[in-house]
Structure 1
Amino acid sequence: MLNLKNKVVFKGDRTLWYVVIGLMLASLIVVYSSTGSLAFRVRGGNTSYYLIKQLFLMFGCMVVILTLQSFHYKYFLSFAKIVLGMSLIFLLWAKFAGTTLNDAGRWVTIPGIGFTFQPSEMAKLGIIMYCARAIAFEQTEECCSNNVLWRMTLVVPVLFLIFMENFSTSALLGGVCLVMLFVGRLYWKTYAKLIGVIVGLLILMLAVVFIVPEKHLKSAGRLLTVKSRIEHFVNPSETDSDDSYQSDQAKIAVAKGGLMGLGPGNSVQRNFLPHPYSDFIFAIIVEEYGLVGAGIVMLLYLIILYRVGVIVRRCTRMFPAILVAGLGLCIVFQALINMGVCVGLFPVTGQPLPLVSMGGTSLLFTSASFGMILSVSHTFSEEGEREEKEKLKMAAQGINEEEENEEN
């Protein structure tokens, strides 16, 4: 990749770097298009306001990726517990003293600097890093020990707090953790029992949601929102809600797109969709660029999935392999959920399109995930192995020089 004075700037998998840059460019184009009318109304005619803001965020994302790709994956192993603990603290902060947004206290504002972020995005990294650590530590010659489930109980309170504020994010993380356990070779009987317990809990939750009166659900986190979204998804013609309006407008945008789309900047539904620049940005992509543009975006995420598989196969250690698998699957699953919501395959979830939707917290922590993946990729690439050999050689030479000095 790019070299400055014989020093590699872009390390790791080249194809993955091309995809990251491609998604960033797509983000700038689509965010500018989807926020033009909003910026005109809110920012006094400055239609480039959100484009400039997104450009600065992309610069910050690039800094995060370039920084983390330079760290050895052993640092991620060491800090896994710390990140998980910080996630728990911030989630509790958001629950009891957080900033309310869209009727959900999911945001934390740092006093003094006024920086606001979603702790659930940090929790994604913390949970995946810790689960990869737990799975790696419980490996035997034949499979992963059942003790890993006891280690992973530390994740439960974090997932529960996320569930109380955002069911879709908790479900996404739960699914990723299950896949990580499968890749980590958890004994199949234990895995089957775990799946059974989770399915039973989901059935119990749905039973509670649809049996308990709505007045009692208002004090139970987001259960009432979960109920309304499921009802709309199952019987869209019999419900009337904000979710119904959003979903209908997204479907209209998809229907207008056709094969080639209406062209860049020609979206009509951006004036009707409540969040055309975040939750429903894929609908704007389909409307302006048609099935061709949407297919290219989907292909980029599928390439991420493929390259993650390649990196996992190259790993000779369990922790980096499970870490990359978890981070990559979280990004791809989230993208598929966002796309599925826009075309009516899933209920409305509020999940942004990774590295494309406008935002700050999601972009920065998604960039952190890519930085970790590229770090592992670089470590187990030919280039990384040469660097390790050179470091060992230099260390050996230093020891020999010290021994010679002592003898003299």
Structure 2
Amino acid sequence: MQDTDRRHKEARSAGERLIAGHVKEDPFAAAFKATRMPMIVTDPNQHDNPIIFCNAAFERMTGYSNDELIGRNCRLLQGPETDTRTVDLIHDSIARGQDISVDILNYRKDGSTFWNALFISPVRDEEGKIIYFFASQLDFTTVKSREAELASARHQAEEAVAKNTAELQSALLTKTLLVHEVDHRVKNNLLTMASIVKLQARFTKDEVKKQTLMSVLNRIEALSTVQRKLFTLDDIARFDVADFIRELVTDLVSAIGRDDIRLTLDLSPLLVPAVKATPISLIVNELVGDAVARGLSDGGGAIHVVVKRLNGHFMIRVEDTTTPVEPDAEAAEFGQLLLEASARQLAASIERKAEGSRRVVEVTLQVDEHQENEN
């Protein structure tokens, strides 16, 4: 008890010496006492770094009187729920003589808690020795409570979102399974149709009929390519025209089996709504098929395919350079009708140019940019 009293007297004496070092008119000392911000000074050169001075705001915040605070270490404000890791950080910073700013749960004299925004800084003499520690505090319990309320509300919102997301994902999974089941059946039907046409062509002796069947087969395979492209992508609502054309044209030319056909592609990535996929596939198939029928399959030549975006439109251009031959009139007429029907379905325009052995066909289609981005 006597030892405690002695330390209390030493701490108070140190505080009085600190105040005595300032004249009454010292505005900084006056501000320290009068400010509404709780402040204390501790003396690290005394045992246990006791409080040697505190202002009235600190007394009001903690509920302790001046006599109860002087000579005590600030740990008297700690309690069962105080974070020990934060306490260790404070001890470590004081031992190192460094500034520290932390938020810590403290206890008042009556046992109630408050959140304390604590800032501690060493005060050094002219030789750099630490003679005091200055600490300011701020009770931000109200802010912390609001943060807790917001965190709770956010947690409830996140739970609601997670629940709704799970329900949507379940619905999407069901829809996806249904779509892929339909896709599977469509592909099987297209394969069945292709097999029937191939078998019929194999047994047909008439060359004209065989060519007609093969043109039908090409169109079925073009549709099969579209179907495969649509349902091997994560986003089945959009269709990459360039990617599709690359595969379709390459397969068409490769199927001819001629080394004297030179194929070049200039394809810019372009996504369009999936509903446009089928007519676009038929347009490309007819354009390339027409080039092949007019001489590429007989005398070789060059074919160049371009896909390009043009200010709200996109263009498919097929150029071929070959020694033309006279195609079958009925097949050419049917192909022309199919091409025009597909173009009308897309509200597309067709422009044809012929210069000697070079022929150019351009199909221009308007693309709703909003629809392209959203789908």
TM-score by length of 1: 0.21
Structure possessing the higher radius of gyration over alpha carbons: 2
Q: Which has the higher helix share?
A: 1
By relative contact order (CA 8 Å, sep 6+), the higher-ranking structure is 1
The TM-score normalised by the length of structure 2 is 0.22
**Structure with a larger share of its residues in strand:** 2
